[in-house]
Amino acid sequence: MKRQAPKPRDLRPLLKFKKPTMSARKRRLDAALTVDDLRAIAKRRTPKAAFDYTDGAADGEVSLGRAREAFGDVQFNPAILRDVSKVDTSRVVLGESVAWPFGIAPTGFTRMMHAEGEIAGAQAAKAAGIPFSLSTMGTTSIEDVAAAAPGGRHWFQLYMWKDRDRSMALVDRAAKAGYDTLLVTVDVPVAGARLRDVRNGMTIPPTLTPKTVVNAIPRPEWWWNFLTTEPLAFASLDAWSGTVADLLDTMFDPTVTYADLAWIKEQWPGKVVVKGVQTVDDARRLADAGVDAVLLSNHGGRQLDRAPVPFHLLPQVVQAVGKDVEVHLDTGIMSGQDIVAAVAHGAAFTLVGRAYLYGLMAGGRPGVDRMIEILTGQITRTMRLLGVASLDELNPEHVTQLVRMAPRPL
């Protein structure tokens, strides 16, 4: 084999050197190709108590594991020779168009994950053309979220408290601030047993112990942001110095019934979604009650461990109520493929919570933007590979649910 010395002019088109990126945050976010990558970054950069509050679930965390397994057990069935040069990912959700079939779920204590908190989420959602949901347990006020993302689509998530007047005062504030949808969460009569939080001594504000301090040493940016920005507090209630579980048990009302839901619905001028639906019978009853959507959710596995998997329930609920109300879904979503599978099974819309917080912890507002960029890229690519050019073309024939768990016959 004859060899010759390479000439510079021949090497130039073969070698391309990457321009250096001066921003460390941009470098780490650009290197994240999946939500799991963002999670790994978030874990490195966030103190254990805050990270575990996001990452953990109730008891043995069985429900969360099963929810993610359910999406992993999906088989896609692609069609070939379809024109997918253009893909339409928009749809009408609760009477208004959204750019993508997912929004940001309500999350509590968000500024504890990153100082930019709900403002980062609301602004990123507006830029992407998707809804942002603010939690009753949020750490930015109803009015400040609306002001930070004017023209964005804002939803408010309501926990019914024992103090009904205070609950409805929040509803009134949300309506006046322009929120168009109320997410009434119904799966929290008491707090779930979130054991990671108990073991970490999770309190608001965070409890400083020798172990906490040692864990924080390699995470100076989080502490600098935490200590030099507005003190962490709940936007919708007074300060609290106990554990999170104690707070939830003190606040939440275990006596809430369908009559209370009807009462709330009468006072809210916008759309009403009931979040935390876990049986077909409850979905039917809610449809009869006239709600606008049911949100299949087991609270991200954070309430009743070993609860039904929302994705497994989806086809039955759509068949039972889909013509009367929209069926939305959360819990276990970690990729755009998961969202496509849910839409193919009949979901009108999905919400992402942990994925959003992983992005936030990984890099503030740019981290949330990166999370959205990852999910939207996966959605578009999956649709093209399936041979569908719009969300409306997705149907149950595009997905097969492989069986890992099945009820044992009685």
Reported residue count of the chain is 410
Would you place residue 19 in the very low, low, confident or very high pLDDT band (cuts 50, 70, 90)?
Answer: confident
Confidence at residue 85, expressed as pLDDT on a 0 to 100 scale: 95
Burial class (CB in 10 A: 0-12, 13-18, 19+), 282: middle
Confidence at residue 317, expressed as pLDDT on a 0 to 100 scale: 97
For range 388-406, the mean pLDDT: 91
Q: What is the pLDDT of residues 87-143, one digit of tens each?
A: 999 999 999 999 999 999 999 889 989 999 999 999 999 999 999 999 998 999 999
The whole-angstrom distance between residue 47's C-alpha and the CA centroid of its chain comes to: 21
Would you place residue 11 in the very low, low, confident or very high pLDDT band (cuts 50, 70, 90)?
Answer: low
Query: Which residues lie across from 273 on neighbouring strands?
Result: 183, 293
403: left (phi over 0), alpha (psi -120 to 50) or beta: beta
Q: What is the mean pLDDT of the chain?
A: 90
Q: Nearest Cα to 114, choosing from 196, 38, 182?
A: 38
Give yes or no for residue 238 having a pLDDT over 70: no
Q: Where are the alpha helices (DSSP H) in 201-331?
A: 210-216, 220-228, 244-251, 258-267, 280-288, 310-321
Confidence at residue 3, expressed as pLDDT on a 0 to 100 scale: 79
pTM: 0.92
> Which stretches of 150-239 are assigned E, i.e. beta strand?
154-159, 181-185
Confidence at residue 256, expressed as pLDDT on a 0 to 100 scale: 85
Q: What is the pLDDT of residues 204-235, one digit of tens each?
A: 556 666 776 677 778 888 878 887 888 776 66
Give CA–CA dist 100/375, Å, rounded: 10
Say which residue, 24 or 89, is predicted with more confidence: 89
Give yes or no for residue 410 having a pLDDT over 70: no
Q: Nearest Cα to 191, choosing from 326, 305, 48, 81?
A: 305
Give CA–CA dist 96/292, Å, rounded: 13
Would you place residue 390 in the very low, low, confident or very high pLDDT band (cuts 50, 70, 90)?
Answer: very high
Give CA–CA dist 122/146, Å, rounded: 8
Would you place residue 252 in the very low, low, confident or very high pLDDT band (cuts 50, 70, 90)?
Answer: confident
Peptide bond before 205: cis, by omega within 30 degrees of 0? yes
Active site residues: 299
Would you place residue 243 in the very low, low, confident or very high pLDDT band (cuts 50, 70, 90)?
Answer: low
Biggest CA pair distance of the chain: 88
Q: Nearest Cα to 237, choosing from 163, 323, 329, 146?
A: 163
Helix and strand numbers, DSSP H then E, in the chain: 18, 12
The HSE-up count of residue 389 (CA atoms within 13 Å, CB side) is 7
Give CA–CA dist 395/63, Å, rounded: 26
Give yes or no for residue 184 having a pLDDT over 70: yes
End-to-end CA distance of the chain: 74
Q: Nearest Cα to 398, choosing from 355, 339, 333, 327?
A: 339
Helix (H, G, I), strand (E, B) or coil at 191: coil
The whole-angstrom distance between residue 133's C-alpha and the CA centroid of its chain comes to: 9
